[in-house]
Amino acid sequence: MPLNNYAWIASAVISWIIFFLLVDWSRIKYTVWGGFITVALQLLVDTGAIGLNLYRVEGIYYILTSSAFFTFGVVFTIGVIYAQTMPESRWMQALNIIVATTLFSLQEVLFIKVQALEYINWSHSASIFVNILVFISYTWIVDSLGINRAGKKRGGYKLL
């Protein structure tokens, strides 16, 4: 199996290890929806971009046109953890978006280096821009739906 296929598997395994270390199990029934929302956003963006021949994903198993290991590894786990750890302050949310975009973009660079991802008519700066828009959108969705607050204890009471 080529190295690029191991990249998707390794990223999924690492994501799930981090997930199990950080997840707040008492809130999972609320924040798991954040994982499903990020999967939908990622599949929407990747299906469109790959369909427009902007980039190509090399993998083993696919969901639509994206690596299934990426979608149900990195993307899903980030969606849940991001929802659980999203700060209430708008300034901290902005910082959170910057940090998440930076980490996501660094991972993308690694995928390119091992040839799991190939830019065809795309650039890394365009990808950073799209990632920022996706994290802004996701932050708004999580905040608007209250996914980040659901099940969170305050003063001994649950909000929802």
DSSP 8-state assignment for residue 72: I
| Domain-located, residue 158 | no
- pLDDT-derived band at 155, boundaries 50, 70, 90: very low
- pLDDT score of 158 more than 70: no
| Domain-located, residue 157 | no
pLDDT of residue 106: 94
| Domain-located, residue 50 | yes
| Domain-located, residue 159 | no
| Domain-located, residue 9 | yes
Contacts of 33 (CB under 8 A, 6+ apart): 83, 145, 147
- pLDDT-derived band at 150, boundaries 50, 70, 90: low
Interval 93-135: pLDDT, tens: 999 999 999 999 999 999 999 999 999 999 999 999 999 999 9
Alpha helix stretches (DSSP H) within 3-160: 3-22, 28-51, 68-69, 76-85, 90-113, 124-145
Averaged over 27-46, what is the pLDDT? 93
pLDDT of residue 2: 62
pLDDT of residue 128: 95
Count, residues in the chain: 160
| Domain-located, residue 98 | yes
| Domain-located, residue 160 | no
Interval 49-80: pLDDT, tens: 999 999 999 888 888 889 999 999 999 999 99
Average pLDDT value over all residues in the chain: 89
Quote the number of domains for the chain: 1
Residue 21 belongs to what domain range? 3-152
